Amino acid sequence: MKCLRAHFDAEENPFGSPYNLFAVDDRHPRGELRDLRLRPDGTVVELCLLEDAPPDIEARLSEHPDIVDFDVGETTDGGVVCHVHLVPLDDVQRLLELVDEHDLLLDTPIRLTRDGVVVNVLGTHTQLSGAVSSLPDSFQDAFCVEGLSDYEPVRNGVRAELTARQREVLETAVERGYYDIPRQVSVEALADELDCSPSTVSEHLRKVESNVLTRLG
């Protein structure tokens, strides 16, 4: 089974105005979609955990013409949980239909970041290629494939957000003492072992560190 890691750019926002309801101070929402389902009638239900939400989120949801029903609550860590039933844009509905048509699986949670939506989709190479080639036109500018690799279930949520190469670099760095105090190995030595340039190792480690710190902060 293959895992396609895809990113939808928030600036292009192909998901329509409901996505913007959760914006705080004009910043795009950050959190997780824990569940997402397309109903037989074409509407969508989703369970969303947000790190923060605007104070008037309930008013925004109740006034939006595409929101059928909703329930909002607080999480124990100060976040917001939203159960939302909505009418999606036609192209968003088509996107979810492609998941069923090509027998794909969404590996939840789906991440909501300041930069957009990050999703891991599971299936065979043929199934994934067929779905990508059938994407609605409105998604083309926003959609970016970040990686395609064998699916490796990872129990740790942070590790699950890393690519296979990032995990390899991280594991090598940890094993060789890169994060020890004092540091036991240089970036140059890691690069030799990983058969790549020092700048590539540094870039992978920066992305790993950014991922971890973003999740924590």
Chain segment 30-68, per-residue pLDDT in tens? 888 999 999 999 999 999 998 888 889 999 999 999 999
Answer yes or no: do 37 and 76 share one domain.
yes
CA dihedral sign, ordered 17, 8, 122, 47: negative
- Please give the Cα distance from 168 to 149 (Å, whole number): 13
Answer yes or no: do 71 and 176 share one domain.
no
Q: Find residue 84's DSSP bridge partners.
A: 46, 70
Q: Domain boundary residue among 150, 179, 208?
A: 150
pLDDT, tens digit, for every residue of 160-202?
A: 667 778 888 998 999 899 999 899 999 999 999 999 999 999 9
What is the model's pLDDT at position 98?
Answer: 93
Answer yes or no: do 169 and 123 share one domain.
no
CA-to-CA dists, residue 85 to 29, 70, 176, 203, angstroms: 18, 6, 49, 40
Helix (H) or strand (E) holding 214: helix 198-216
Answer yes or no: do 64 and 163 share one domain.
no
**Structural domain that includes position 120:** 2-150
How sure is the predictor about 215, in pLDDT bands with cuts at 50, 70 and 90? Answer: low
Mean pLDDT value across residues 7-25: 84
Residues with Cβ within 8 Å of residue 168, at least 6 apart in sequence: 194
Q: Domain boundary residue among 115, 150, 185?
A: 150
Q: Find residue 50's DSSP bridge partners.
A: 31, 80
pLDDT, tens digit, for every residue of 84-131?
A: 999 999 988 999 999 999 999 999 888 888 888 989 999 999 999 999
Residue reference for tokens 């074409």: 42
CA 134 centroid distance within chain = 21
Q: Report the b/e string of 181-203 with b at 16+ CB within 10 A.
A: eeeebebeebbeebeeeeebbee
47, 81 Cβ separation under 8 angstroms: yes
> What single DSSP character describes residue 180?
S
Answer yes or no: do 61 and 100 share one domain.
yes
